[in-house]
Structure 1
Amino acid sequence: MNLDINPRVLRRLMHIIYEVSKETGTLTYLYGLKGSHPKHIENDILISADVIFEISLDMGADKMVNKLAIPKMRGMLPTLEVIKFKICDGVRIDTSKDMA
């Protein structure tokens, strides 16, 4: 995404990746850092994605909290729910609810 190429070439590459994934029945993940690329390129990728996972890390003085949000799932209404998780001897999902 940082290459200085014509945006049409990038869109074509994304289309090829989509078609190959569809033909082979596989999943394809595109990992990107939000805000690290030109906005119009990020928007093109986010618009064409079927699902968007947003992972954030909140660091406090005494703890770190990993959060997962899924703001887009094609064909479904987006959810505002945030899932807390820890990575240790696997991934542990926090099923408790925060009371504020």
Structure 2
Amino acid sequence: METLPTGISVLDREFGGGLPSGSVVVLKADPASQSELIVDRFSRPRACRYLTTVRSADAVKAILTLGGESEGDGSGGDAETVVEETDREDPIDDVLATASDLPEGATLVVDSVEPLEAADRSRYGSFLTELRRHVDDAGGIAVVHAFKGGNGQNRVVTEQVADVIFDLRTTVTGTEIVNRLIVPKFRGGAALEEPLKLKLTDTVSVDTSRDIA
């Protein structure tokens, strides 16, 4: 099983080089957080098919253009990222069509999963099974952006099928915004024993500031 860089150097160090190929990764976050920065970094180390279910393709492309170069593979430039909008009423078929044609070792981003979770449970479960099979066949990874407070029972199915879960927790106090990344689930690797404190501004880095009670 090959290990694929995430595009975030600190995560790659924690995970011994990156994520196992064939993994379905779920990034859980608050809608008002800077989680899009993490998704952006995941898209950069290798060829990526980026499917947006809510925002326009132009809006996503603009953010990706501003994001700078990847930290992931040291190649000095980003691999090709193709951004497409899905059918707003029924995105499942669009996602599966793209997954079935995923380049070898590529990343598939689904941003965000809520419109897909709105399907009935049986269809959604079949979708996740087929998605995982396509990603495994390509030896790539799928990154599913999932906002907290999502669609009830189907969110449980999303997390059950996921191989890796990143849980970004954002806390706002009177003086600062604190982001902690928790990894409670990691098939094929070791989950983090402690939260990882991140600084999310216009990039992703480790926050070395001390917590003051």
TM-score (norm 2): 0.41
The percent identity for this pair of structures is 26
Whichever residue aligns with residue 34 of structure 1, its letter is K
Specify which structure has the bigger relative contact order, considering alpha-carbon pairs within 8 angstroms and separated by 6 or more residues: 2
Relative to structure 1, the CA distance from residue 78 to residue 88 in structure 2 (aligned partners, 3 Å threshold; closer, same or farther) is closer
Say what the alpha-carbon RMSD is for the aligned residues: 2.2
Counterpart Cα distance in 1 of 2:143 and 2:211: 31
Kindly state the Cα deviation for residue 87 of structure 1 after the two structures are TM-superposed.
2.1
Match of 1:32 among 139, 146, 152: 146
Relative to structure 1, the CA distance from residue 50 to residue 93 in structure 2 (aligned partners, 3 Å threshold; closer, same or farther) is same
Relative to structure 1, the CA distance from residue 34 to residue 85 in structure 2 (aligned partners, 3 Å threshold; closer, same or farther) is same
User: Runs of at least 4 residues of structure 1 off by over 3 A?
Assistant: 75-80, 95-100
Relative to structure 1, the CA distance from residue 61 to residue 96 in structure 2 (aligned partners, 3 Å threshold; closer, same or farther) is closer
Do residues 7 (structure 1) and 121 (structure 2) align? yes
Whichever residue aligns with residue 27 of structure 1, its letter is I
Counterpart Cα distance in 2 of 1:50 and 1:89: 28
Relative to structure 1, the CA distance from residue 89 to residue 7 in structure 2 (aligned partners, 3 Å threshold; closer, same or farther) is closer
Whichever residue aligns with residue 94 of structure 1, its letter is D
Do residues 55 (structure 1) and 141 (structure 2) align? no
Q: More displaced, 86-95 or 15-24?
A: 86-95
Counterpart Cα distance in 1 of 2:123 and 2:190: 31
Counterpart Cα distance in 1 of 2:209 and 2:179: 14
Counterpart Cα distance in 1 of 2:129 and 2:203: 34
Match of 1:91 among 204, 207, 210: 204
Counterpart Cα distance in 1 of 2:181 and 2:141: 19
Match of 1:19 among 133, 141, 152: 133
Kindly state the Cα deviation for residue 76 of structure 1 after the two structures are TM-superposed.
5.2
Whichever residue aligns with residue 162 of structure 2, its letter is A
Asked whether the equivalents of residues 170 and 180 of structure 2 are also in contact (C-alpha less than 8 Å), the reply is: yes
Counterpart Cα distance in 2 of 1:43 and 1:70: 16
Relative to structure 1, the CA distance from residue 85 to residue 26 in structure 2 (aligned partners, 3 Å threshold; closer, same or farther) is same
Kindly state the Cα deviation for residue 45 of structure 1 after the two structures are TM-superposed.
1.3
Give structure 2 stretches of 5+ with no counterpart: 1-115
Kindly state the Cα deviation for residue 18 of structure 1 after the two structures are TM-superposed.
0.5
Counterpart Cα distance in 1 of 2:194 and 2:188: 17
Counterpart Cα distance in 1 of 2:191 and 2:141: 21
Asked whether the equivalents of residues 168 and 180 of structure 2 are also in contact (C-alpha less than 8 Å), the reply is: yes
Give structure 1 stretches of 5+ with no counterpart: none
